[in-house]
Each structure stands twice: as structure tokens, then as C-alpha cells.
Amino acid sequence: MQIAQVCGTVVSTAKEPSLTGMKFLLLQMVNLQGELLPEYEVAVDAVGAGFAEWVLVSRGSAARQPAAAREDRPIDATVVAIIDTVSVENRFLYSKRLAG
Amino acid sequence: MQIAQVCGTVVSTAKEPSLTGMKFLLLQMVNLQGELLPEYEVAVDAVGAGFAEWVLVSRGSAARQPAAAREDRPIDATVVAIIDTVSVENRFLYSKRLAG
Amino acid sequence: MQIAQVCGTVVSTAKEPSLTGMKFLLLQMVNLQGELLPEYEVAVDAVGAGFAEWVLVSRGSAARQPAAAREDRPIDATVVAIIDTVSVENRFLYSKRLAG
Amino acid sequence: MQIAQVCGTVVSTAKEPSLTGMKFLLLQMVNLQGELLPEYEVAVDAVGAGFAEWVLVSRGSAARQPAAAREDRPIDATVVAIIDTVSVENRFLYSKRLAG
Amino acid sequence: MQIAQVCGTVVSTAKEPSLTGMKFLLLQMVNLQGELLPEYEVAVDAVGAGFAEWVLVSRGSAARQPAAAREDRPIDATVVAIIDTVSVENRFLYSKRLAG
């Protein structure tokens, strides 16, 4: 999984019918220094992530495994966890409590 | 999923038989500044996307999930949504109504 | 799918038994300016592509979908179409008839 | 598979229910000179890997094959082996005994 | 598939149980000029490849297709062929007989 920050949303009316009612989050990927990268992912939200939160995104066929994203939907990225903390060696790269 | 703009088409007569009748769109990938990238994808169209529209493209096994692209076809990219708006933080990166 | 040009072949005697009789084409990837990239793919041929032709290559599990490449074979890239034309905006990036 | 070093952990309370009880390791990828790369992976641990150990990480649908990571979980990376030695040509790039 | 040269081995005692008895080869990727790239892959060997030989490596779910690598094993890369020759245009980029 990769670490990403929720930075926006994508809205679509004309979409593959099985995607109806799904919320598309725009995620910006985060590197090991905690910096935002140019890479992004548009992902379905399985956990109710909010703006600016750090999340874990699963890609590929993994994105269709959760109950919230049935296997017959054309999804290749899903937010599977809201991150509390990222620890690198003995320090916090990120702590949701402190980021608030 | 990635954000892309429809920039052309690819036509093929001699193709794997299960691809007969499918339309191949040429998509140019878009970054988080709304700029076109050198990367592209040739994708099957599941939603009737038109020239210059911004779309969401699903890749990998996700591309074979929609009813329009049966699982036994050798497809690794499908347009799954025509984008209305992309919002980054509190502004619109793209709005189909204004792009018209 | 990506656009590629057939630039050679790979021959192997000692291979996984299910690959017996399959032809491996060496493909060089093509960018949106019609230039050859350093990236390549060794792909199974499902359509009888010839030297210097432009083709569409499907990768990942898509490569094992056509009837010609049974699902139990360890293949991750297949040529699925010989390209007639690639149109970008209102011009031809490639036309097989003119390339001859 | 890629070679990586365990450099930290990611903790999440709000996650897809099937991920409950799974430990997320933060892995930094290693190149053929034995140097740490900027690329990382957040992976489920199937082998009890410890801090600073070198491991093999499997990605994609492979990550959901082991018994420890059931196929219906949205996981795209799993630590599948703790490395004893990496040999390149006739020398050790890494030896766990000596790294201790 | 990609072309790679066998450059070493990876040994692991503590590994996912289904990987017991499998040999992990360290492969260095080769470009279209026949040069070694910094990219590598640790792959299971399905064909008995030896040191310095050029091979084809299949990645993703394709790596779990051969009989030698059962579908329930967490493998994302397998050596599927030992290369005899690679021909680019009208010349040999590689010939196993001459490389000996």
C-alpha cells in the first residue's frame, strides 16, 4: 500500500453504472520524508476519509476486495485505512492527533 | 484511477476477435496542475466519452469488470467515467461546464 | 493498452512447457509524438504482426485472456491488435497504408 | 519480488474491517548496490519481520495468496520472506548474520 | 515479459511456508542496447536458469501460472524461459552460443 493525503474529490454523472453512489477521492501520494509528491490516485473510499487526512491506498485487484467495492466494479484504487501514525525508525513521520 | 483527456482514436482491423466492435480511445494523462503529461493510454470506452473530455481510466484487471468489457477480453484499460468536476482543496481544477 | 512497434524476436528452447510453440515478439514502445522509447516488451503474438508494424500490446492478466493464450500460461504481455491508424486531434500520427 | 528493509510501522484504527489485527510494516526499497531508495511500500507481515531486517516483498495479487492474508482482503503488498543472504556474482551484498 | 540476466541469488530460511524449496534468482534487467539496468527482480526459477544467462521474466499474476509455481503461492515474478537469441532488426543483440 502507499501513503497518501486526501486533497480533493472527483465528481462524475456519466459513469459505468456499477459505480453509481461511489465517492471518488483525489489522493496525493506522500514520500518517506512526509512530502507530497506529484503522483496522485483517484480512489474509492471504503473508510469515510476526510479532507487532509493521511490514508493507505490499495491498488490493482486489491482495490476490489472489500465488501464496499464489489468484485464486478471497474475500480483499481481504494482507500482502505485512515492512518493514525507513521513511525520511521524511532520518530513519528505523521500523527493524526498532532496534525489536527 | 487516473485522470486523462481524450485526445484521439486508434483504429485496427486485424485484432483479437473478442475486440471486434470495440472503440479504442487515445487518452493523454493529466497531472494535479491540470497539465497534459507525455504518458498516454489506449482504452476501451464504456461511457461514450467525446473528444477533449476529461475522463477516469481504470487499468489492470479492473478494466475487464464492466458489463461492456467482458472478462475474457484482452483489455487492460477502460474509460469508466466522464468527469464533471475535479476539486483540489477549495478550487476547481476542472469543470466540464466551463471547459465547454 | 500501449502502442508499440515490432522491432525483433526472442527465441528460447528451454522454457516453461506451456509456452511451447508460442512466438515472442520484441516490441519497442511508441510515445504520443510517434517516437520510439527506450522501453520495450517481449510479448506473445495473437494476431500475426509483422516486422515494423505498429501494434497494441495488453499487459498484466489481460495478456492471458485471448483464446490464443490460455489462462494457465505464464504470459504478461500479448499483441492484441495490428494498428491501421492512430489519430491525435485532427491529424494522423500513424497510418499503416502510408508507413508501408 | 523486491528487496526492502523494514524501517517503520503504520498504525490505523479506522480501516476496512477485514484488515483488523494485521500489522503494517513500512519498507524502504533496496537497490543492487545495497543502498536504500526513496521508494517504499506499506506491507502486511506474513513472517514476523523485525526492524532493520532485509525482506522480500510481493506485490499485486500475489500479496493475497498466503494463508495469513486471505484472498478477500484489500492488500497489495506482503512481506513473504526474511532474507538471510543476497549474493551478487561471487560476493555477499547482504548477510543477516553480519548485519546484526 | 522483460529480458534479464541472472546475477545472483537470494536465500531465506524464515519465509511464507508455501515458498519452501523454491530457489530465488536475482535478475538484473537488460535494455534494448543489451546493457544492464539498475532495475532488478527477485524471481522464482521455473526453467533451471544458470548464472549469467539471459532469461525472460514474467511478472504479476502471470508468475503464478506455471505448474512449478502453484496459484496459492505469494510470487510476483518467475523466470519462464532461458533465451537462445534476441534479434533486433537484422542483427543479434544476444546469442547464448556466442555469449558462452
Each domain of chain D, given as residue ranges in start order, spans 2-99
Taking the CA of residue A13 and the nearest CA in chain D, the distance in Å comes to: 26
Query: Residue B61 and residue A60: Cβ atoms within 8 Å?
Result: yes
Query: Residue B26 and residue C88: Cβ atoms within 8 Å?
Result: yes
Query: Residue C8 and residue E86: Cβ atoms within 8 Å?
Result: yes
**Of 2.40.50.220, 2.60.40.10, 1.10.10.10, 3.40.1190.20, which CATH number belongs to B2-99?**
2.40.50.220
E60: nearest Cα among C81, D63, C46, C45:
D63
- pLDDT at position D67 is 54
Would you tell me how many other CB atoms lie within 10 Å of the CB of residue D31?
Answer: 15
Would you tell me how many other CB atoms lie within 10 Å of the CB of residue E37?
Answer: 15
A85 CB neighbours in chain D (<8 A) are 10-11
- pLDDT at position E70 is 65
- pLDDT at position E99 is 81
- pLDDT at position D93 is 96
Taking the CA of residue E47 and the nearest CA in chain C, the distance in Å comes to: 6
DSSP assignment, residue C35?
P
- pLDDT at position A57 is 97
Nearest by CB to A62, which of D10, D11, D76? Answer: D76
Number of CB pairs, chain C paired with chain E, less than 8 A apart: 105
> D interface toward E at CB cutoff 8 Å?
1-3, 31-32, 46-48, 56, 58-63, 65-69, 78, 80-89, 93
Kindly state the percentage of chain E with pLDDT values over 70.
93
- pLDDT at position C24 is 97
B70 CB neighbours in chain A (<8 A) are none
Provide ipTM, 2 decimals: 0.94
Query: Residue D86 and residue E26: Cβ atoms within 8 Å?
Result: yes
Q: Look at B39-48, C14-23, D14-23, E70-79 and tell me which has the smallest mean pLDDT.
A: E70-79
| Whether the predicted pLDDT of B26 surpasses 80 | yes
Nearest by CB to A8, which of B47, B67, B89? Answer: B89
Q: Look at A7-11, B15-19, E41-45 and tell me which has the smallest mean pLDDT.
A: B15-19
Query: Residue B87 and residue A40: Cβ atoms within 8 Å?
Result: no
Task: Find the mean pLDDT for residues C73-91.
Answer: 94
User: How deeply is B43 buried, as exposed, middle or buried, from its count of CB atoms within 10 A (0-12, 13-18, 19+)?
Assistant: buried
Task: Specify the higher pLDDT residue, B70 or B77.
Answer: B77
Say which residues have a Cβ less than 8 Å from residue A21's Cβ, sequence separation at least 6: none
On average, the pLDDT of chain C sits at 92
Kindly state the percentage of chain C with pLDDT values over 70.
93
| Whether the predicted pLDDT of D72 surpasses 90 | no
Query: Residue C18 and residue E68: Cβ atoms within 8 Å?
Result: no
- pLDDT at position D100 is 59
Q: What is the pLDDT of residues C4-35, one digit of tens each?
A: 999 999 999 999 998 998 999 999 999 999 99
| Whether the predicted pLDDT of D85 surpasses 60 | yes
Query: Residue C16 and residue E66: Cβ atoms within 8 Å?
Result: yes
CB E40 within 8 A of CB E24: no
CA distance B63 to E20: 34
